[in-house]
Chains A and B, each alone.
Chain A
């Protein structure tokens, strides 16, 4: 019994230590961001006179509106299209089980292991040839393609588990393929699609390599890609750099906190299927 209690206390202490370790870098960003902009801050010390104005300065000099607009444009270009075509393909593979589907699935799953870095050189010359280089489209098109292996795999896993009797019943009732898809399959797929949507949003918003390589102008990149611009801009002011970085990461954190339960449930379901 005593051993049990010490175990429990020790466990709590370890867990709290892990939580503190996780939070320190983030808190440290906040405390650094609140120091006077022209002073080099030290350590974890909370500023005696918090300079909330730093966020305003970083927001203005960092052209954050423009950046957010550009990120949003890229997200809107990537996520809805990816969801749509991944869902259709997932339905074809998992629901309709088309002939040769297994080969297609293997062909696509192989793509899961290709690191973006291995493709970045050809993607650059491809964008040049397509005339999309230095515009958001240079990132949007490849990202849709790169998300397909995961997206199709994810949606197929959902449709495979939908009982085929449902679709048969609809077809027997005279529903066409499209009607069956819209009335029966789509409503059932909403949780899987929204979970995939959250993941794709995060991966697009946080995408770094593609925008850094393919878009010259930092203000046309994703939020994460623009961080290099902040590093250049605020190389002399650690408080402003941290303020800018905090502004950049806030939208993703908000999305996470709102959809947290779905996010964790999505992970759970993904694990069950895998």
Chain B
């Protein structure tokens, strides 16, 4: 109780301290708050820490219950041969061996890596170009409207993007029609049904979705770059390209790392677009890990193999994402 009694004596100092942070006059100097903090810090701090943990519990509980625990169960399933209903038999690493030896599963992993080119490289490149273009516009309705429009694909469900584009790519669809306008009608084909073009065609849907996000995020990044740098390089007589490579690109390292992380995860674990556009076909031309996991687990009821593939997918994502993180941090120093 005695500690509480010290509180009123400190009450007088409180308004002044608030005033200081707001007004920034700083005449009274720091000693007073430091003394006050030291005086009764320990027991209330411990109590506050206990309450702090209490506040953490709900979030931590949901996370552990519905992410960490399932992950743990997934690891466990991956060592068993189980059809989901009957008895399970321990098979050790057999399921993992199968993931890395089955040509179909390996093929789906390969497809996922091909998708990175379309989900990561194209959107970030296009986003860099578009962001510099929008930045060169005078701020106004056109600049704002172009941001809104470019962002739209990010808002609609990926599954809807798959439906919209499977109609674009159809034999009688818009892509072939536009090719016809330019005299390229001989090039027309049902893009998603052709073994050679299905995977790039699906990948371009991802580019369409992610370009807007990249543009808007990179644009905010450009906004943070010191404007005087641009003036300096302009005075040097530098053109658009030099300005881009000497100022814009290095200044956006952080944003690019964020976008690479997001889009690589989206590419490796893509499911929605492929489910509604090609279902992995034709044949297995656009089969990806997520779709394989879904089929193996729920159609073929090989829970162990599907779980093992899920764990492999997670590790693949981690192995791709961690170097990107390190890259962005190393550049900071």
Chain A residues, CB < 8 A from B307: 121-122
A268 touches B223 (CB 8 A): yes
User: Do residues A202 and B208 form an inter-chain contact, with CB atoms below 8 A?
Assistant: no
CA distance A146 to B63 in the complex (A): 7
Which chain B positions have C-beta within 8 A of A115? 265, 268-269, 290, 313-314, 317
Other than the given A18-B126, A23-B152, A28-B174, 13 more pairs (CB < 8 A) read A18-B211, A91-B55, A92-B55, A93-B56, A101-B52, A118-B317, A121-B306, A168-B33, A228-B276, A241-B163, A245-B160, A256-B155, A271-B254
Encoded as 1 (CB less than 8 Å from any A CB) or 0, chain B from 150 to 170 comes to 111101111111011101100
Are B272 and A209 in contact, with the CB atoms below 8 A?
yes
Find out whether the CB atom of B163 lies under 8 angstroms from the CB atom of A126: no
Cα distance A252–B49 in the bound complex, in angstroms: 40
Query: Please, how many angstroms separate the alpha-carbon atoms of A26 and B158 in the complex?
Result: 13
State which of A18, A40, A113, A166 has its C-beta within 8 Å of the C-beta of B318: A113
B168 engages A25 (CB within 8 Å) = yes
Of A41-49, A50-58, A61-69, A186-194, the stretch lying at the interface with chain B is A41-49
For chain A, the bracket of interface size reads 35 or more
> B56, A92: Cβ atoms under 8 Å?
yes
Known: A119-B70, A152-B59, A271-B221. A8 touches B136 (CB 8 A): yes
Query: Could you tell me the dominant secondary structure of chain B's interface residues?
Result: helix
Min CB–CB distance B76 → chain A (angstroms): 9
Name the segment of B98-106, B113-121, B127-135, B194-202 touching the other chain.
B127-135
The reply on A111 being an interface residue by CB < 8 A is yes
Is A135 located at the chain interface by the 8 A CB criterion? no
- CB distance B67 to A212 under 8 Å? no
A residues near B58, Cβ cutoff 8 Å: 84-85, 88-89
Question: Which of A104, A205, A245, A252 has the largest count of B CB atoms less than 10 A from its CB?
Answer: A245
A200 within 8 Å of B by Cβ? no
Could you tell me the distance in whole angstroms from the C-beta of A155 to the nearest C-beta in chain B?
9
Asked if A121 meets B63 with Cβ closer than 8 Å, knowing A15-B133, A208-B271, A257-B148, the reply is no
B311 at the interface (CB under 8 A from A): yes
Question: CB-CB < 8 A to B13: which residues of A?
Answer: 172
A-side contacts of B294, CB under 8 Å: 117, 120, 209, 213
Report B101 CB to chain A, min CB distance, Å: 20
16 sample A-B contacts, Cβ–Cβ < 8 Å, listed by A number: A26-B152, A86-B59, A89-B56, A111-B63, A113-B265, A113-B318, A115-B268, A118-B71, A118-B269, A141-B62, A163-B21, A213-B294, A224-B159, A242-B164, A242-B167, A253-B152
**What is the CB-to-nearest-CB distance from B212 to chain A, in angstroms, rounded to a whole number?**
7
B220 touching A267, Cβ below 8 Å: yes
A84 to B58, CA, bound (A): 9
Q: Which 4 A-B pairs have the closest CB atoms?
A: A145-B66, A43-B177, A98-B52, A115-B269
For residue B184, CB closer than 8 A to chain A, the reply is: no
With the chains together, A205 CA to B7 CA distance in Å? 49
Task: Kindly list chain B residues whose C-beta atoms are within 8 Å of the C-beta of A268.
Answer: 220, 223
Report the minimal beta-carbon distance from B177 to chain A, rounded to whole angstroms.
3
Which residues of chain A are near B269, meaning CB under 8 Å? 115-118
Per the 8 Å Cβ criterion, residues 178-215 of B in contact with A are 178, 208, 211-212
Q: Which residues of B are found within 8 Å of A85, using beta-carbon distances?
A: 58-59, 62
A217, CB-defined interface residue at 8 Å: no
Interface residues of A, dominant DSSP: helix
**Assembly CA distance A58 to B137 (angstroms):** 42
> In this complex, what residue of B is CB-closest to A116?
B269
**Interface flag for A260 (CB, 8 Å):** yes
Given contacts A29-B167, A227-B160, contact A148 B63 (CB under 8 A): yes
Q: Which residue of B lies closest to A244 (CB)?
A: B163
Residues in A whose Cβ lies below 8 Å from that of B311: 118
Asked if B290 contacts A209 (CB within 8 A), the reply is: yes
Query: Which residues does chain B contribute within 8 Å of A76, judged by CB atoms?
Result: none
B53: which A residues are within 8 A, CB to CB?
Answer: 92, 98
CA distance A260 to B159 in the complex (A): 22
Query: Distance in Å from the Cβ of A219 to the closest Cβ of chain B?
Result: 16
The answer to whether A117 and B63 have CB atoms under 8 Å apart is no
Tell me the complex Cα distance, A149–B317, Å: 16
A88 and B56 contact, CB distance less than 8 A: yes
Give B65 Cβ to nearest chain A Cβ, in Å. 6
Say yes or no for B251: interface residue by CB 8 A criterion: no
B-chain residues with CB within 8 Å of residue A32 when the two chains form the complex? 167
Instruction: Contacts A146-B66, A213-B298 given; indicate if A122 touches B77 (C-beta within 8 A).
Output: yes
| Minimal Cβ-Cβ distance residue in B for A151 | B59
User: Does A106 interact with chain B (Cβ within 8 Å)?
Assistant: no
Instruction: Type the 1/0 row for B296-333, where 1 means its CB is closer than 8 Å to any CB of A.
Output: 01100001001100110110011001000000000000
A148 near B67: Cβ-Cβ < 8 Å:
yes
Task: Check A227–B265 contact: CB distance below 8 A.
Answer: no
Tell me the bound Cα distance from A28 to B130 in angstroms: 23
> Which residues does chain A contribute within 8 Å of B224, judged by CB atoms?
271-272
B217 beta carbon closer than 8 Å to chain A: yes
Task: Kindly state whether residue B90 has any CB partner on chain A within 8 Å.
Answer: no
Chain B residue at minimal CB-CB distance from A269: B220
Which one of B18, B60, B149, B216 lies within 8 Å of A165 (CB-CB)?
Answer: B18
- On whether the beta carbons of B65 and A145 are closer than 8 Å, the reply is yes
The chain B residue with its CB closest to the CB of A27 is B174
Chain B residues with CB under 8 Å of A152's CB are 59
- Given the known A-B contacts A25-B164, A249-B160, are A7 and B239 also in contact in the complex, defined by CB atoms under 8 Å? yes
Q: Is A123 engaged at the interface, CB distance under 8 Å to the other chain?
A: yes
Q: A14-B129, A152-B59, A166-B21 are in contact. Are A26 and B164 (CB under 8 A)?
A: yes
